[in-house]
Amino acid sequence: MKTNIKLAWRNLWRNRRRTLIAISSIIFSVLLASWMRSMQEGSYSSMIDNVVQYYSGYLQVQDTAFWDERTLENGMEVSPGLKNKIEKIPDVNLVSHRLESYALAANHEHSKPAMILGIEPKEEDSITHISEKITKGSFLKAGDDGVILAKGLAGFLNLDVGDTLVMIGQGYHGISANGLFKVKGILDHPNQQFNKRLVFMDLKTARDFYSAYGISTALVVMTDDHYKVKDLQEKIGDILPPQYTVMTWIEMQPEVEQLIQSDRAGGIIMLGILYVVIAFGMFSVIMMMVKERQREFGVTHAIGMKKRKLSAIVFFETIFIGIAGCATGLLISYLFCLYFYHNPLPLTGETGTAMAQYGMEPYMFFSLKPSLFYNQMILVFFISVFISVFPVSNIFRLKITKALRA
């Protein structure tokens, strides 16, 4: 065995150009597959980040009845201790209170049902980046008694910064909720439905308006890695009282997950086609090497080397080529995608304009998730091992007289 390995290694470098061509084909295969998968998953990550920044966050802690019936009566009184426990869970980087309800927003002439979000301004801005969407006026500060209006709602009510918004609604346990609020700013929300009906208020101001003192309808939980939301859901669920539940963005916005899964399925089909092309490319290179060496194999066999030993040497040569190509391809793929991770490809034309209108950055993003790279390396390596069967079988079918005349 050791002798076979030594002979295989030396054979590789007797003809460096031939070996480098074979290794290069594998490097290119790993690079192409990794680049495609990195681009796919990077675009999905960007889509998820943009979607959760519209409203939901990655996870929300709620009363078990709130998601089905969004009323203040299904709110919850969260103790500081529970919030602190959630914040201390690894991979949780932000926990923020929200109070969500509805009211009739009006001016002197028009009125319209509006969605009211009582927020902690600093924490909420870290989640939804709404301060960046302010087109007029200024963003809220903790303790402010003014409001931020979505652009569509402000236009319908004919209100501008400095004007007074009238709100009429039903507070906690049926208490009447009425108030006058100064418009501090106008925001252009990328979600058109929210843009027609959204009002932001400071959390304390919203609680006072609804007489819902100490009540929150949700705790929004953020993380840096959306792949960990399932693990976080389990960890948070373990410390919650039985009357509370924790929901992920997947449960709150299943249509986004379905869109990603359907697109991912199409991507897997395209990747399968790519692997077929890769396999045929590698097969042609390996078989070309074998055909070029027919006379060499014939002479070697004629002077006494058994076909079994000769085929073992060729098999090890193919394995060495596969290992060298895959390892080098893995390194080059990572460095290649690392560059595009920090320098995403800009999207121009109609595609870029459409993405910008929906509040998404008009770029093609890339992912550096490790499994995207080593999975491609492993798959390409197994393809090379499978292809090694053909030169081995070719040696077992070798005819000395025909090979010597090659």
What pLDDT was estimated at residue 397? 66
What pLDDT was estimated at residue 100? 93
What pLDDT was estimated at residue 9? 77
What pLDDT was estimated at residue 358? 59
**Does the pLDDT of residue 204 top 80, yes or no?**
yes
Query: Per residue in 300-327, pLDDT tens?
Result: 767 776 767 777 777 888 888 888 888 8
Looking at residue 140, the DSSP 8-state letter turns out to be: -
CA nearest neighbour of 47 among 278, 226, 175, 282: 226
Rounded Cα–Cα distance for residues 217 and 358 (Å) = 27
Per DSSP, the three-state class of 103 is strand
Which ranges of 196-306 does DSSP label H, i.e. alpha helix? 203-210, 229-239, 249-252, 254-292, 294-302
C-alpha torsion sign, points 61, 66, 71, 76 = negative
Rounded Cα–Cα distance for residues 203 and 187 (Å) = 18
Query: Per residue in 230-281, pLDDT tens?
Result: 999 999 999 998 899 999 988 888 888 888 888 888 878 888 888 888 788 7
CA nearest neighbour of 31 among 233, 278, 214, 256: 278
Q: How many other β-carbons are positioned within 10 Å of the β-carbon of residue 331?
A: 14
> Which one-letter amino acid corresponds to residue 401?
T
Rounded Cα–Cα distance for residues 213 and 168 (Å) = 18
- Per-residue pLDDT band for 350 (boundaries 50, 70, 90) equals confident
Residues 6 or more apart whose Cβ sits within 8 Å of residue 51: 249, 253, 256
What pLDDT was estimated at residue 372? 84
- Per-residue pLDDT band for 148 (boundaries 50, 70, 90) equals very high
User: Which residue has better confidence, 120 or 297?
Assistant: 120
Query: Per residue in 152-172, pLDDT tens?
Result: 999 999 999 999 999 999 998
Q: How many other β-carbons are positioned within 10 Å of the β-carbon of residue 317?
A: 26
Best-predicted range by mean pLDDT (231-235, 356-360, 369-373): 231-235
What pLDDT was estimated at residue 234? 92
- Per-residue pLDDT band for 282 (boundaries 50, 70, 90) equals confident
**Does the pLDDT of residue 404 top 60, yes or no?**
no
Q: Note whether 195 and 152 are within 8 A (CB).
A: yes
Per DSSP, the three-state class of 181 is strand
CA nearest neighbour of 375 among 44, 30, 39, 45: 30
Which residue has 């209108």 as its token pair?
A: 357
Q: Which helix (H) or strand (E) holds 200?
A: strand 198-202
Percent helix, strand and coil across the chain, each to the nearest 5 = 60, 20, 20
Residues 6 or more apart whose Cβ sits within 8 Å of residue 274: 32, 33, 36
**Does the pLDDT of residue 203 top 90, yes or no?**
yes
Structure tokens at 62: 């709620």
Query: Per residue in 224-233, pLDDT tens?
Result: 888 888 999 9
Rounded Cα–Cα distance for residues 41 and 263 (Å) = 11
Q: How many other β-carbons are positioned within 10 Å of the β-carbon of residue 137?
A: 17
**Does the pLDDT of residue 103 top 90, yes or no?**
yes
